[in-house]
């Protein structure tokens, strides 16, 4: 099975279409993640290309054909639930007893099982509470596989059965014909397009891709076929869902229901999430994350699954690449009822492919909100205006090189379609203003960070003054709690003695008295610190920093852990009803840090449920 990941075909004599190379970019195929082979061709005119030659557009009477096969061994194979690229050698009998999904019961070694026990036992506890029973001591027992990998204790994954009638689903696209059988293996044809998306039926099996040239007239293959074998298909990791936690009374719902709506008539939810741009997700930066889990085909599916699962009414994403917005997130979230707006970063500093420039994307549910107005903030333009007004001409180049960082903000005014019977006057519009931003990352540019946040807040003040509507300010501010930008947002001002103010070589922060605003902003997650004593409240407070009333972290890599992301809201017109639970650092450290196979960004998503209140005019 250990063929090389790419195969070179021999060139036939004469000038006709030929395949030079076939290669799969990911070493491990994952359920739900499309496999797209890289195919290098030589055209009849001797030029080399990667463009496909389908039957509908043949070249000189020839085209390319693809066939995908599942190679099913007579041995049953189970996959480790913690290390999905490893074969399981033991199974937790407690999971079997508790009727926990069988895939979560498998482990590759006793060390794997014991290391994972702290997190694995949560599955038992949740299963026990679901049936209103106490967990039993014998749940810690586990069964062992024999050395061949067969003889699964009690049960095996249905997907691992080798009955041909089950292999391709109830309505197979392709006939479940046996292509070949030899040496205890059976090949089933599963696809005939260039790409293939593994299904649950493929888990534990090797896939085979054949690529060959076909004569248009005879429909027969010409020359040698090029073949690639994959590793065994693994299931997509499925982290335990994060719960929505009520923070304002006992009547709020604490979970997403089957329809996905946790909101009552006048309530709405807002998600903010830095999804980690593919351009930044390098193996050098995140060497602890398996390459398959760092690949964009895997991460985009995992991110989409997570984002759609939250079913937020408003979604603010940062680090969304332009091409990924156009080709993936825009179309995919449209299918789920979202309208999309996007503002990409400016490109004065960036010198790479313009398609990979990232930006801020805001989505809202069309059945809950309608779009009223959009404002775009380009901090580069603000920098130009500032230097024109304040900086002597001889210093302008130096000033602009410090201030021009391509960061942007996207501000959207939305009108609610739902009616809050408590506060709405008949015919009164319920508007909400949502700002989505990603502030400059460089830690040595404290003055630039603060200036960008101040510039955004001054713009929002103008909107608030003209419309008097609730404000939401979301994003990755690259500022920890207690920093000057955080103080400005949360307190409305910055202490003149704040250490961050020492760094101001251009004098852009002076006079210090201007570092203030009148928006009554409060951090949504500070509500965890104020929630009453109740079931589970202590667990959520443990994930907060009592000195700042902010989460202990929203960003967790091997080299840094801390809070950089926030959802701020107008406390005079909105109240927080519930918050998405935070994650435990210990839980993430089993994979070293973020991103990981379970969580596909180095940041965690924040989500808050708000209720509109009668507004007191300032």
Model confidence, pTM: 0.80
What six digits make up the tokens of 251? 């009547």
SS3 (DSSP) at 392: coil
Question: How many C-beta neighbours within 10 Å does residue 567 have?
Answer: 23
In this predicted structure, what is the pLDDT of residue 175?
43
Q: How far is CA 74 from CA 25, 81, 230, in A?
A: 28, 22, 18
In this predicted structure, what is the pLDDT of residue 132?
54
Q: Which of 389, 390, 387 is nearest to 400 (CA)?
A: 387
Q: What is the pLDDT of residues 136-145, one digit of tens each?
A: 333 333 333 3
Q: Which residue has the tokens 């690229």?
A: 85
In this predicted structure, what is the pLDDT of residue 131?
65
Buried b (16+ CB within 10 A) or exposed e, 188-205: bbbbeebebbbbbbbbbb
- Average pLDDT per block of 10 residues along the chain, 618 residues long: 42 71 87 92 93 94 96 78 81 85 84 81 77 42 33 32 32 48 83 95 93 95 92 87 82 41 72 97 95 92 95 98 97 97 90 87 97 97 90 85 95 88 61 97 94 97 90 98 98 96 93 95 92 69 92 97 98 95 91 94 98 70
Q: What is the pLDDT of residues 552-573, one digit of tens each?
A: 999 999 999 999 999 999 999 9
What six digits make up the tokens of 157? 């994954």
Strand 221-232 versus strand 244-246 pairing type:
unpaired
Q: Are the beta carbons of 211 and 226 closer than 8 angstroms?
A: yes
């Amino acid at each position: 099975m250990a063929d090389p990941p790419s195969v070179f075909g021999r060139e036939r004599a004469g000038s006709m279409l030929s395949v030079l190379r076939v290669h799969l970019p990911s070493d491990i195929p994952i359920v739900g993640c499309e496999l797209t082979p890289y195919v290098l061709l030589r055209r009849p005119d001797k030029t080399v290309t990667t463009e496909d030659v389908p039957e509908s557009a043949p070249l000189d009477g020839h085209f390319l054909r693809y066939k995908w096969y599942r190679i099913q061994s007579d041995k049953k194979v189970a996959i480790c639930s913690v290390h999905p690229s490893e074969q399981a050698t033991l199974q937790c009998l407690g999971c079997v007893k508790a009727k926990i999904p069988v895939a979560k019961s498998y482990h590759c070694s006793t060390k794997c099982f014991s290391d994972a026990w702290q997190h694995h036992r949560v599955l038992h506890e949740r299963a026990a509470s679901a049936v209103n029973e106490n967990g039993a001591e014998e749940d810690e027992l586990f069964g062992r596989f024999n050395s061949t990998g067969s003889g699964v204790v009690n049960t095996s994954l249905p997907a691992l059965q080798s009955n041909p009638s089950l292999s391709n689903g109830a309505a197979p696209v392709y006939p479940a014909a046996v292509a070949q059988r030899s040496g205890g293996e059976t090949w089933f044809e599963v696809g005939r397009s260039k790409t293939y998306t593994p299904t649950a039926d493929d888990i534990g099996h090797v896939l085979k891709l054949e690529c060959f040239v076909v004569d248009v007239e005879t429909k027969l293959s010409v020359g040698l076929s090029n073949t690639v074998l994959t590793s065994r298909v693994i299931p997509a990791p499925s982290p335990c869902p994060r719960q929505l936690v009520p923070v304002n009374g006992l009547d709020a719902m604490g979970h997403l229901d089957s329809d996905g709506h946790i909101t009552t008539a006048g309530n709405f939810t807002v998600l903010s999430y830095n999804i980690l741009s593919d351009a930044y997700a390098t193996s050098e930066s995140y060497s602890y994350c398996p390459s398959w889990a760092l690949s964009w085909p895997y991460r985009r599916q995992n991110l989409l699954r997570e984002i759609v699962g939250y079913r937020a009414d408003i979604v603010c994403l940062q680090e969304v690449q332009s091409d990924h917005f156009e080709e993936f997130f825009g179309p995919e979230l449209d299918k789920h009822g979202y309208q999309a707006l996007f503002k990409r970063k400016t490109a004065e500093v960036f010198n790479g492919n313009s398609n990979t420039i990232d930006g801020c994307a805001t989505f809202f549910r069309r059945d809950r909100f309608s779009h009223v107005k959009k404002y775009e903030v380009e901090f580069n333009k603000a920098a130009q205006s500032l230097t024109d007004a304040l900086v002597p001409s001889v210093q302008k180049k130096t000033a602009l090189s410090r201030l021009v960082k391509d960061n942007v903000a996207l501000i959207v005014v939305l009108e609610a379609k739902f009616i809050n019977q408590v506060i709405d006057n008949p015919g009164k519009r319920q508007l909400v203003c949502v700002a989505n931003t990603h502030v400059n990352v460089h830690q040595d540019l404290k003055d630039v960070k603060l200036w960008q946040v101040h510039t955004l807040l001054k713009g929002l003040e103008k909107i608030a003054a003209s419309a008097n509507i609730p404000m939401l300010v979301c994003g990755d501010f690259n500022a920890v709690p207690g920093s000057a930008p955080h103080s400005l947002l949360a307190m409305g001002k910055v202490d003149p003695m704040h250490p961050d103010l020492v760094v101001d070589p251009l004098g852009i922060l002076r006079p210090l008295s201007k570092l203030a605003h009148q928006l009554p902003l409060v951090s949504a997650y500070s509500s965890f610190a104020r929630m009453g004593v109740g079931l589970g409240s202590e667990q959520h407070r443990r994930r907060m920093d009592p000195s700042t009333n902010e989460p202990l972290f929203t960003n967790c890599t091997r080299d840094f852990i801390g809070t950089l992301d926030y959802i701020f809201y107008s406390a005079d017109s909105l109240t927080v009803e519930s918050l998405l639970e935070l994650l435990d650092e210990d839980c993430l450290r089993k994979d070293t840090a973020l991103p990981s196979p379970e969580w596909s960004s180095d940041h965690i998503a924040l989500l808050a449920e708000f209720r509109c209140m009668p507004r007191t005019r300032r």
